[in-house]
A and B are shown apart, each in its own frame.
Chain A
């Protein structure tokens, strides 16, 4: 336990020193603010650049606040995931490569503490970025488009955070298995998008898939109600996260540190 705390504190300190604590939330804030702002100014933007013939009347259905936030979530699902994976790809592999992982493990540190501290560090930065970005996006949406109830915001962000937690857990696994940062990022992103694609194609049979979290996030936002299959997906996602963490620890144990 104490080992875990020391290592977790080191992770946080490192993220502050290398400014990850700053720039990842900023990316999430930008992604979150862009959507309501561009939706609000869309008519003017079209007017300026459109060059539509005089007299054309365009009916621009103003999106609802929920729809704008849905777009924010899908931005997070693409660019957000990309940024998170890229920032987390070296979490174990870089320390193994430099040999400093060996310097840590030659002290009497349980292998689980090392991996779990890494995981907790990743979750912290992910959740902080998501929450701050999303709340600011909510503020701008309420200001420019229309207010959205706090309840829906809260539920949707909690459900969506499960998906992002799943993504960073996978990144941690691949970072433990492989050494090259580039291949870690590539494989993780490939797997994440493969899961998403398969889930959306075979929707009927994939109700349990972690990628359904994105779907459920949208449902809660738009209708305020949750599909009964959510529980199933929630349980499988949690189970996969636990299994992946456990395997990461076992794999890390087998790796030769300090070459």
Chain B
């Protein structure tokens, strides 16, 4: 079922269009990654969805109806969460819970649950000011979940964390995924590949590619040949670009990656070529384009 739908969302800041009329929808129960380089308009989009920023034009439907105040249904974790540093972790969660219309008892109970879940039970009485970056991210996640939102929006949830903190947050997201729909932005493609069901790729204020992770990979996947030489073989690599079955050639140092239209024919001819010319090959590998290749292609286009 369709949970949230953006219709022609535009956000203009002065003369610049940060978001240029995007349309997309998110299915209930999916984990969606919003990808894009810095400045693509990811944060602006997320803020509009979370009700923190008024779109210049366009509308957002929630469960098929044009929603006025989305904030009740959404839990949001900004890229740089901040807190009242004089509050303890527990106090902040109870405060956030009460603001989200839980009564005091419910807020207390839910806070304890979430503290347990994000592993901060031992630190709940400490001032948030004394928390580490990873702990702040976790308490931020807890406050976003306090009112059991229908949609959890996370803006770069792991970008600022060290590998351990990143692992922890990803594991938590995998748990949360079972209960609620998640939309998160990231520029770490590996994370998106790891836990998302659907992806949206944004570039310069527009959504260029969207769909389920498999279908996007399927659709844009191309066979690729990677050849590593023992010494420079630039001349040959340049010459093969003229073959009809080769669509793209990239050379980095002694490594060439060649995108092929026809793998079966291509690899035979190229192998034959290498043997005929006695080129010093160290590695000859057949693989597929990755999400990163796709991303680079979209962004550079």
Number of interface residues of B (CB under 8 A): 25
Complex contact A6–B78 (CB within 8 A): no
CB distance from A112 to the nearest CB of B (A): 13
**B130 contacts the other chain (CB 8 A):** no
Complex contact A106–B52 (CB within 8 A): yes
The interface residues of chain A lying within 8 Å CB-to-CB of B95 are 6, 10
Given A17-B86, A108-B69, the answer on whether A103 and B101 have CB atoms closer than 8 Å is: no
> Which secondary structure characterizes the binding site on chain B?
loop
Given A109-B99, A257-B52, the answer on whether A100 and B82 have CB atoms closer than 8 Å is: yes
| A6 to B51 alpha-carbon distance, docked (Å) | 21
Number of interface residues of A (CB under 8 A): 22
Q: Which residue of A lies closest to B81 (CB)?
A: A103
| A6 to B97 alpha-carbon distance, docked (Å) | 10
Contact of B50 among A99, A106, A256 (CB under 8 A): A106
Complex contact B52–A105 (CB within 8 A): yes
A95-137 residues at the B interface, CB under 8 angstroms: 98-100, 102-109
The interface residues of chain B lying within 8 Å CB-to-CB of A106 are 50-52, 71, 74, 76, 78
**B47 contacts the other chain (CB 8 A):** yes
> Which secondary structure characterizes the binding site on chain A?
helix
Q: Which residue of A lies closest to B91 (CB)?
A: A13
The interface residues of chain B lying within 8 Å CB-to-CB of A3 are 99
| A109 to B101 alpha-carbon distance, docked (Å) | 9
**B178 contacts the other chain (CB 8 A):** no
The interface residues of chain B lying within 8 Å CB-to-CB of A256 are 53
Complex contact B83–A102 (CB within 8 A): no
CB distance from B157 to the nearest CB of A (A): 15
B77-124 residues at the A interface, CB under 8 angstroms: 78, 80-84, 86, 95-96, 98-101
Encode contact with B along A74-86: 1 for CB under 8 Å, 0 otherwise.
Answer: 0000000000000
| A123 to B204 alpha-carbon distance, docked (Å) | 47
Contact of A258 among B78, B84, B143, B147 (CB under 8 A): B78
| A230 to B78 alpha-carbon distance, docked (Å) | 50
Complex contact A100–B86 (CB within 8 A): no
**A2 contacts the other chain (CB 8 A):** yes
Encode contact with A along B45-58: 1 for CB under 8 Å, 0 otherwise.
Answer: 00100111100000
| A47 to B50 alpha-carbon distance, docked (Å) | 72
Residue numbers of B with Cβ under 8 A of A are 47, 50-53, 69, 71-72, 74, 76, 78, 80-84, 86, 95-96, 98-101, 143, 147
Known: A100-B83, A108-B99. 10 other contacts (CB 8 A): A7-B99, A17-B86, A99-B78, A102-B52, A102-B78, A103-B96, A105-B52, A106-B50, A106-B51, A109-B99
Residue numbers of A with Cβ under 8 A of B are 2-3, 6-7, 10, 14, 17-18, 98-100, 102-109, 256-258
The 8 closest A-B pairs by CB, nearest first: A107-B99, A108-B71, A99-B82, A6-B98, A108-B72, A100-B82, A106-B76, A107-B100
